[in-house]
Structure 1
């Protein structure tokens, strides 16, 4: 069910997000729209961490062992820590692979069962829609920062 009905939408959104990252240079990672906003590096990490978090909240998967904390979720401030391009691209790829695996193996009868989570009660189907929106929202921020130069 997932592969035929929902995966194409996720893949399309992911493709658009990855387009915003194409030809990204390491010196762009600290750029922000405004001084108190989040940097490109922070946003890339945040999108990945939210994908992992949604796996735990809605898609019946624990955090993988290699993720020790979710540093960009909750009341946090961008302290300029996410500047390693290779690390960011690796977690970006790992989170998406983990998400797709979780979605692919979620039983068909679980897709419309409500799950209570800190962000509200959603079915996995609804959560996937919210996750796609989240990726597009922050991907758009990255695109704006790159287009207009941003601030450090």
Structure 2
């Protein structure tokens, strides 16, 4: 499959996220479906961080990203409440990962990461597409059914 087709497929898969962005309000960012679940703001930040890390670690784009939603210390404390800042990092992730995808010549080339071992770049693209779509589905449910937990310990 050509790089153009791979990128078109990624854009379509990512539309599960991007189609929601214009309807999200700042008041939605602290919504969660259960007190122990992640907020909408945290999910947006997480999606962007993972896409940026894929651009860096899988597609070898020179990026500086400090992940706040990944790892043993990552905890949702309701800290992601600036909608414009979140939309900006989502856009940055789209731009950086999109450029990285466009630069791939050989989709059968193997990459090795600590997270999922050795896979082809095509397999890695499938992985990031499903990751984004999975969390975009969660985001839709949080926005639709979630409530702000006023007793949240921040």
Could you state the TM-score of these two structures normalised by the residue count of structure 1?
Answer: 0.90
SS at match of 1:140: helix
**Contact 1:58/1:123 (8 A) holds in 2:** no
State the SS of the aligned residue for 1:137. helix
Indicate the residue corresponding to 1:35 in structure 2: 35
Instruction: State the distance in 2 between where 1:13 and 1:101 align.
Output: 16
1:20 Cα offset (Å) = 2.4
Which residue is 2:87 aligned to?
Answer: 89
Instruction: State the distance in 1 between where 2:79 and 2:124 align.
Output: 28
The aligned counterpart of 2:152 is: none
- CA deviation vs aligned residue, 1:15-71 (integer Å, no higher than 9, x gap): 22112233211011011121111111011010000011111221011224xx3x111
Are residues 1:116 and 2:117 paired?
no
| SS of structure 2 residue aligned to 1:78 | coil
Give unmatched runs, 5+ long, in structure 1. none
Q: Indicate conservation of the 8 Å contact 1:34/1:151, yes or no.
A: no
Counterparts of 1:54-69 in structure 2, within 5 Å, are: 54-64=54-64, 67=65, 69=66
Across the aligned residues of Structure 1 and Structure 2, the Cα RMSD in angstroms comes to 1.3
Residue 133 (structure 1) aligned with residue 134 (structure 2): no
Aligned residue for 2:19? 19
Contact 2:59 2:100 in 1 (8 A): yes
Consecutive unaligned residues in structure 2, runs of 5 or more: 150-154
Q: Normalising by structure 2, report the TM-score.
A: 0.89
Matched residues, number: 146
Alpha-carbon contact 2:16-2:137 (below 8 Å) kept? no
Shift in alpha-carbon separation, 1:57–1:115, aligned structure 2, 3 A: same
The aligned residue for residue 3 of structure 2 is 2
Give the CA deviation at 1:85: 0.5
Cα displacement string for residues 66-108 of structure 1 (whole angstroms, at most 9, x for unaligned residues): x3x11111222101111001100000001110001111112x1
